[in-house]
Amino acid sequence: MTPSAVGRLEAAGLIVGDDGLARPPWAAVDPLLRTYYDTEWGMPVRDERGMFERLALECFQAGLSWATILRKREAFRAAFRGFDPDTVAAFADDDIERLLADSGIIRNRAKIVATIRNAAATIALRPEGGLAGFIWSFQPAATPAPCSVAEIPTISAASIALSKALRSRGFSFVGPVTMHALMEATGIVDTHVLGSHRRGSSGVWPGQ
């Protein structure tokens, strides 16, 4: 990469790594976040369990850093039995107490209870095509095309509509900002900066 190309990317708020690839600041330094950004973030998630896991993790992330959640991801998977909605929906009071005693996860009673209720709401969506199909139905006609990190939106009309629709179906901790993050993470929108090596990698949206 030429010095002028590096300069353009850095002017857009991206950080060029030692591998010559440009990433947003949140994904540029921590090895775990860097790998997550390079291999998973923004890739389509279309199965129920996968989408429920992402929804649950975004719920727990509210008010915290994503790095915190990502480091605890395997503990979350173990604690919530692989995020199988049928299993989680059947959790009782003793399961809530078990989760509150689990130092490997975020021990927030409101978020734990919300995840259990969201599992039941996920099951209720199955006759209508399921959670993943429901969330993907809010895919907008166009995706953002930020030229810099500063231009990346944190909320959208689509995420506001998705939040409202999920709440009407019994989901909680699904605010518009949280739902925008979910839509970014699961490929429903592509908010990679133009010129990033990840732009268009989902196959859902064109690269430029």
pTM here is 0.94
Determine which one of 66, 136, 184, 205 is catalytic: 66
Whether 66 sits among the annotated catalytic residues: the reply is yes
Q: What is the per-residue pLDDT for 114?
A: 98
Show pLDDT as tens, one digit a residue, over the chain (208 residues). Answer: 677 766 777 788 888 888 889 899 999 989 999 999 999 999 999 999 999 999 999 999 988 999 999 999 999 999 999 999 999 999 999 999 999 999 999 999 999 999 999 999 999 999 999 999 999 999 999 999 999 999 999 999 999 999 999 999 999 999 999 999 999 999 999 999 987 889 999 999 986 6
Tokens describing residue 139: 């895919």
Looking at the domain 48-185, which fold is it? Endonuclease III; domain 1 (1.10.340)
β-pair type (15-16, 22-23)? antiparallel
Query: How far is residue 197's CA from residue 185's CA, in Å, rounded to a whole number?
Result: 16
Whether 36 sits among the annotated catalytic residues: the reply is yes
Q: What is the per-residue pLDDT for 162?
A: 98
In 141-153, which positions are buried (b, 16+ CB within 10 angstroms) versus exposed (e)?
A: eebbebeebeeee
CB atoms within 10 A of CB 168: 8
C-alpha separations of 140 from 28, 36, 137, 203, 208 in Å: 28, 24, 8, 15, 17
Among residues 141, 134, 173, 171, the alpha carbon closest in space to that of 156 is found at 141
Whether 26 sits among the annotated catalytic residues: the reply is no
Q: What is the per-residue pLDDT for 1?
A: 63
Determine which one of 48, 58, 136, 184 is catalytic: 58
Among residues 86, 87, 90, the alpha carbon closest in space to that of 123 is found at 86
Q: What is the per-residue pLDDT for 208?
A: 60
Segments of 20-124 assigned E as strands: 22-23
Q: Is residue 180 annotated as involved in ligand binding?
A: no
3-state secondary structure at position 21: coil
